[in-house]
Structure 1
Amino acid sequence: MEWPTYLDEYEKLITRMTTPRVMIDNAGCATATRVMIDSGRKHRILLDAVQILTDLNLSIEKAYISSDGLWFMDVFHVTDLNGNKLNDESVLSYIEQSLETVHCRRSRSFNGLTALELTGTDRVGLLSEVFAVLSDLNCNVVEAKVWTHNGRIASLIYLKDDHSGSPIEDSQKLETIEAMLRNVLKGDNDIRSASTVVSMAVTHTERRLHQMMFADRDYERKPIIKTSDDSPVVSVQNYLERDYSVVNIQSKDRTRLLFDVICTLTDMEYVVFHATVDTTGDRASLEFFMRHMDGTPISSEAEKQRVVLCLQAAIERRASQGVRLELCASDRKGLLADVTRTFRENGLNVTRAEISTAVETAQNVFYVTDALGNIPDSKIIESVRQRIGLSNLKVKELPFIYHQKGEKEETTMGTGGAVLLSIGSLVRRNLYNLGLIRSYS
């Protein structure tokens, strides 16, 4: 690494100490590429590292996170979504460079766009009304993400003026947009005030959605429509001998699972010192040894229960309920309003949406259910496709992550057994799993 001439020796030392060392190994594991990060800034880099890997649509099959004294090491076993190792040198180089410069990275700023944050009560047709208002106000939706959970909705929408193509900066127009959308989000009987604000868009979009739903306390609400029968199981107990709280999660595996969990723990101001993530088939097991930022473990049963509810909510928010519909069509004024109105008129509820525009082409994904949260009747789906265009709106299977069975490993201990481990034993176990020592004993 070449250093700028203006840096003195002390600054160079500090930079070396705070710059992560990244090693990528394609030979040590038969089924996955190992990404190893050695950093003196471990507690600040974990979320960024997971974010970089998941933004590349990589599947994290295993992870070992360890910090003890001055030793910090995070190891991720990653594959593409087809379960293959990473062999593209440009991708490997990008991962290495991104992780090594994570301390100076910035979230995508969406320059040239106006960002709106929306939260409110979810209902069938809500998204149709939101996009209709924006279309009537000559707002072009360039990108958007919409999540729903436990009867609440959160969305980040990136706009520009439909006529000028510039960001919307007129304060009077922004106030009008906010007021009209707030009325739409409130509905007739919203016991909570809906929120519509112009955002600075400085936070990673999906992390911001987690923060918005967390602030909206969606984790305290009961679902009003049918949800998955395969809910995550979360337990929390204290390992008082070492002043850790231990969180154990058993869940169905999916992409971005680790990102969602780490986001939530970070925003709840917990620091992860040790963790193990393991996937087998379509199941995932995650275990975290953590403390508050002041170094203390969880102090009460009420706090433990809050952690359980918040982690369950974080995992469920992204759960793909319903049928996945992909829209690919030439972008035009009112397209989103027309498409979502067709959904509403056929009784379809949008549970999640990802809106994007590239080279004047709309590339949108919608997950839809009926009004009760069930899979919609196939005849209704076909009727909707006929109206929107069979070639424009296609039914896609839910993403499937293929996890090849890894090398035979030692039988892992349950939470109770892990709590009894000393930190020295935990580190040795992680070193064994990393392939850095020959024997666990």
Structure 2
Amino acid sequence: MEMNMSFSHDMGDEYEKFIRRMNPPRVVIDNEACKNATVIRVDCANEHGILLEVVQILTDLNLIINKAYISADGNWFMDVFNVTDQDGNKITDEGILDYITKSLGPESCFTSAMRSVGVKQTMDHTEIELTGSDRPGLLSELSAVLKHLKCNVVNAEVWTHNTRAAAVIQVTDEETGTSITNLERLSRIKALLCNVLKGSNKSSLAKTIVSHSVTHTDRRLHQMMFADRDYEQTGDDVLEDRQRPNVDVVNWYDKDYSVVTIRCKDRPKLLFDTVCTLTDMGYVVFHAKIDTEGPQSYQVVRFLLSLHGRFHESEILYDFMRL
């Protein structure tokens, strides 16, 4: 059985490489086609999760996506993005333009089905993932415990929503400045941090994971919060109507897909957060149009989606409320 599985995996990987050689990704960056934005066109063989990876690369460069047209029919993927820098200017920095071309073009590996989004191995530090109940002073308590355990915090990002908290913390050994590999020490770190997350409520859910891989932080926090079901609303946590994104869902039963239209206040990383949410929910985007409109900078997003089963409007509405 193991030999058959290995053979199947190898064949699938070789087939993917063959398709890639026959149809290499093509990236065109045009600063003349649009008056107010740089236009980036990406054509390549379609793979599950490829839209998220492309949006992630552009978002990591702090680019603002004002408009986008997405099409993923069959085995082919074609996207057009109108982007600017944080000041609303076209992208003219040759270093950034070259990075985009290399990251999305034939030299990249972003279409590999075996590649996790934003993950690479490292021994420079240890990564700690935490989920638990939020409360005042939680971050201070976690920092104090790590200090007591002689852990140096290299980087940390914390999200909170609906009384739940998720954090990705990168630490090194205080003395050596390298990752922590002693299993007994790692076990102690996990146990003490888990106790802090539970606080006085020992029955509350808390989770601590330690690894030596580097995950794209925002992507991982999305996954952690979704797995923690942070989007479930209770009592006073329900947003006022004026704060809610306007989400409209139409199921086209005869075509076996759903059309989702979202209108909400624009902000940085909105498209990335939206695509992350849809990906975590298991939806596949076949077509989409994104447009930032009007003086109030609202973003209108229309997705054509497919999933095994029908789209549940209440589920997507609550999940988008946390974006």
User: TM-score band (shorter)?
Assistant: 0.7 to 0.9
Change (3 A) 1:223 1:34: farther
1:99-148 deviation per Cα after TM superposition (whole angstroms, max 9, x unaligned): 11123575354531001000111111000000000001110000111110
Instruction: Specify the alignment match of 1:395 in structure 2.
Output: none
Match of 2:263 among 250, 254, 259: 250
> Partner amino acid for 2:141?
E
Instruction: Specify the alignment match of 1:235 in structure 2.
Output: 248
Give the greater-gyration-radius structure (CA).
1
Match of 2:158 among 146, 149, 152: 146
Match of 2:303 among 284, 288, 291: 288
Unaligned 5+ segments in structure 2 are 1-14
1:9-48 deviation per Cα after TM superposition (whole angstroms, max 9, x unaligned): x998522345321111110100100110111225442111
- Does residue 262 (structure 1) correspond to residue 275 (structure 2)? The answer is yes
Q: Distance in 2 between matches of 1:35 and 1:238?
A: 31
- Does residue 62 (structure 1) correspond to residue 61 (structure 2)? The answer is no
Q: Is the 8 A contact 2:119 2:216 kept in 1?
A: yes
Give runs of aligned pairs for residues 170-189 of structure 1, distance below 5 A: 170-189=182-201
1:129-186 deviation per Cα after TM superposition (whole angstroms, max 9, x unaligned): 0000000111000011111011110000000000111211111111111111111110
Change (3 A) 1:28 1:113: same
Q: Is the 8 A contact 1:151 1:223 kept in 2?
A: no
> Partner amino acid for 2:253?
L
Instruction: Specify the alignment match of 1:20 in structure 2.
Output: 25
Q: Is the 8 A contact 1:20 1:40 kept in 2?
A: yes
Instruction: Specify the alignment match of 1:307 in structure 2.
Output: 316
Q: Distance in 1 between matches of 2:229 and 2:124?
A: 32
Change (3 A) 1:32 1:224: same
Instruction: Specify the alignment match of 2:290 in structure 1.
Output: 277
Q: Distance in 2 between matches of 1:217 and 1:262?
A: 17
> Partner amino acid for 1:310?
D
Task: Tell me the SS of whatever aligns to 2:267.
Answer: coil
Q: Distance in 2 between matches of 1:70 and 1:196?
A: 39
1:368-410 deviation per Cα after TM superposition (whole angstroms, max 9, x unaligned): xxxxxxxxxxxxxxxxxxxxxxxxxxxxxxxxxxxxxxxxxxx
Q: Is the 8 A contact 1:151 1:224 kept in 2?
A: no
Give runs of aligned pairs for residues 327-406 of structure 1, distance below 5 A: none
Q: Is the 8 A contact 1:26 1:85 kept in 2?
A: yes
Percentage of matched positions with identical amino acids: 51
Give runs of aligned pairs for residues 194-209 of structure 1, distance below 5 A: 194-209=206-221
TM-score by length of 2: 0.86
Change (3 A) 1:12 1:225: closer
Instruction: Specify the alignment match of 1:74 in structure 2.
Output: 79
Match of 1:161 among 167, 173, 183: 173
Q: Is the 8 A contact 1:143 1:158 kept in 2?
A: yes
Q: Distance in 2 between matches of 1:35 and 1:298?
A: 33
- Does residue 115 (structure 1) correspond to residue 120 (structure 2)? The answer is no
Deviation (angstroms), 1:187: 1.3
Change (3 A) 1:12 1:200: closer
> Partner amino acid for 1:284?
Q
- Does residue 96 (structure 1) correspond to residue 121 (structure 2)? The answer is no
Q: Distance in 1 between matches of 2:89 and 2:194?
A: 46
- Does residue 39 (structure 1) correspond to residue 44 (structure 2)? The answer is yes
Q: Is the 8 A contact 1:152 1:218 kept in 2?
A: yes
1:265-301 deviation per Cα after TM superposition (whole angstroms, max 9, x unaligned): 1122111000010002421111100101xxx4516xx
Change (3 A) 1:121 1:174: same
Q: Distance in 2 between matches of 1:52 and 1:223?
A: 38
1:35-91 deviation per Cα after TM superposition (whole angstroms, max 9, x unaligned): 101112254421110000000000000000013355531111000011001111121
> Partner amino acid for 1:264?
T
Deviation (angstroms), 1:191: 4.8
Change (3 A) 1:175 1:276: same
Bigger mean CA offset, 33-42 vs 90-99:
33-42
Q: Is the 8 A contact 1:234 1:308 kept in 2?
A: yes
Q: Is the 8 A contact 1:108 1:204 kept in 2?
A: no
Task: Tell me the SS of whatever aligns to 2:81.
Answer: strand
Match of 1:215 among 222, 227, 232: 227
Task: Tell me the SS of whatever aligns to 1:68.
Answer: coil
Q: Distance in 2 between matches of 1:11 and 1:53?
A: 24
Q: Distance in 2 between matches of 1:11 and 1:61?
A: 32
Change (3 A) 1:197 1:70: closer
